Amino acid sequence: MLVIPYGLLALLFLISLAGLLLLAYKKHTAMGCMLAKHLGLVFGFFLDFPYCKFVHAIYRYGVLIQFEQKAD
């Protein structure tokens, strides 16, 4: 059960590492490949986003708005 948070942390680490490598290979021919890998990781993060704990704040905000509308 502890695999999901560590997987998300690993994905965030890989995204940051790929971003730093993009800066390092800015003038190199491998930049296109690095950019594709970085954008693939970012896309994977956004696919994983609705299923992680980060979305809790959005759901909580919606519940608070719904509660205020019912209170009026």
Other CB atoms closer than 10 Å to residue 38's CB: what's the count?
Answer: 20
Query: How do residues 54-71 score in pLDDT, each as one tens digit?
Result: 677 788 888 999 998 887
Domain ranges of the chain: 3-71
What is the structure's pLDDT at 1?
A: 45
Q: Which two three-digit tokens encode residue 44?
A: 């994977």
What is the structure's pLDDT at 22?
A: 92
CA distance 20 to 17: 5
Read off the pLDDT of each residue in 36-55 and give the average, rounded to a whole number: 83
Q: What is the mean pLDDT of the chain?
A: 84
Taking each helix axis from N to C terminus, what angle separates 31-48 and 3-24, rounded to the nearest 10 degrees?
150
